[in-house]
């Protein structure tokens, strides 16, 4: 099957909205070609197509890593490049997809989690710089969602990096999506130092749509905060 045919098949599957069926079908296609097709889908406006593509991209890169870790690293570097100002692009979906890939293979998490965390950190002195702070509000959502996702499957990796300490700024964000995602990440990381600001958001009724466990759900900042506080107990 040609690359063009695979790309169309991938997009048709995603448009169907059945994640389980998409994952089964894509598992039978060459992982490398699936990755190329999914890259064009993670920045689609349709939230179902976009999020399902992110999940499926994690599956495909996980398959690649199992056979050829260096080939998986190349995909990860492609995500990083898309978030670089010099790339000329914006990097839609890249932080989320990075997190999905790292959930599938711990070696990728060990090597690239620090880059995901760096997008929450301010630039430092040139010789000891570990920050690549992302200012774009929508990309910030992707970064914090990625941290929350990774915290659910590679908690220890993020704890070693001190990722929890970087989430406080987002709890005070004007954007309710960032507040909610930050609360989700704080709870999953067990960042007890951030309990006080969480307490102040218990009654936050701002709504948001959350992609979690393969589906989209409607929730509120306060609901995520209260769940995080329960985890911190």
pLDDT in tens, the chain (233 residues): 677 888 899 999 999 999 999 999 999 999 999 999 999 999 999 999 999 999 999 999 999 999 999 999 999 999 999 998 776 668 999 999 999 999 999 999 999 999 999 999 997 665 445 789 999 999 999 999 999 999 999 999 999 999 999 999 999 999 999 999 999 999 999 999 999 999 999 999 999 999 999 999 999 999 999 999 999 99
Q: Which two tokens stand for residue 210?
A: 């959350």
Assess if residue 125 is contained within a domain.
yes
Assess if residue 73 is contained within a domain.
no
Q: Is the domain of 132 the same as that of 187? A: no
Q: Is the domain of 102 the same as that of 148? A: yes
Assess if residue 79 is contained within a domain.
no
User: CA dist 163 to 114, 131, 168, Å?
Assistant: 9, 12, 10
pLDDT at residue 24, as a whole number: 97
Among candidate residues 166, 196, 214, the one where a domain is terminated: 166
Q: Is the domain of 162 the same as that of 182? A: no
Q: Is the domain of 13 the same as that of 58? A: yes
Domain assignment of residue 185, given as a range: 175-233
Question: How many domains, the chain?
Answer: 3
Q: What does the alpha-carbon distance between residue 209 and residue 199 come to, in Å, rounded to a whole number?
A: 22
Q: Is the domain of 45 the same as that of 99? A: no
User: Quick one: which of 145, 119, 144, 146 has its CA closest to 130?
Assistant: 119
Q: Is the domain of 1 the same as that of 27? A: yes
Among candidate residues 166, 187, 204, the one where a domain is terminated: 166
Q: Is the domain of 194 the same as that of 142? A: no
Q: Is the domain of 159 the same as that of 188? A: no
| Interhelix angle 137-153/106-118, nearest 10 degrees | 150
Residue 23: Cβ within 10 Å count:
16
Query: Counting every residue, how long is the chain?
Result: 233
Q: Is the domain of 122 the same as that of 60? A: no
Q: Is the domain of 159 the same as that of 90? A: yes
Among candidate residues 131, 148, 166, the one where a domain is terminated: 166
pLDDT at residue 128, as a whole number: 46
Assess if residue 72 is contained within a domain.
no
Q: Is the domain of 90 the same as that of 156? A: yes
Q: Is the domain of 161 the same as that of 212? A: no
pLDDT at residue 127, as a whole number: 46
């Amino acid at each position: 099957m040609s690359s063009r045919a695979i790309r169309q098949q991938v997009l048709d599957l995603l448009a169907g909205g059945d994640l389980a069926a998409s994952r089964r079908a894509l598992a039978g296609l060459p992982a490398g070609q699936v990755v190329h097709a999914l890259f064009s889908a993670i920045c689609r406006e349709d939230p179902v197509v976009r999020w399902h593509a992110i999940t499926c991209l994690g599956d495909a890169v996980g398959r690649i890593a199992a056979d050829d870790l260096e080939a998986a690293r190349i995909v990860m570097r492609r995500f990083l490049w898309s978030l670089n100002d010099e790339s000329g692009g914006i990097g839609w979906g890249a932080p989320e997809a990075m997190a999905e890939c790292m959930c599938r293979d711990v070696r990728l998490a060990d090597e690239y989690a620090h880059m995901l965390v760096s997008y929450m950190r301010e630039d430092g002195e040139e010789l000891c710089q570990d920050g690549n702070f992302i200012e774009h509000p929508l990309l910030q959502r992707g970064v914090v969602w990625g941290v929350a996702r990774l915290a659910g499957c590679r908690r220890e990796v993020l704890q070693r990096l001190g990722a929890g300490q970087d989430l406080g700024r987002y709890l005070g964000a004007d954007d309710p999506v960032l507040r909610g995602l930050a609360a989700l990440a704080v709870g999953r990381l067990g960042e007890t130092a951030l309990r006080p600001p969480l307490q102040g958001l218990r009654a936050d009724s701002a709504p948001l749509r959350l992609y979690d466990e393969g589906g989209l759900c409607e929730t509120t900042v306060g609901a995520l905060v209260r769940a995080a506080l329960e985890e911190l107990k």
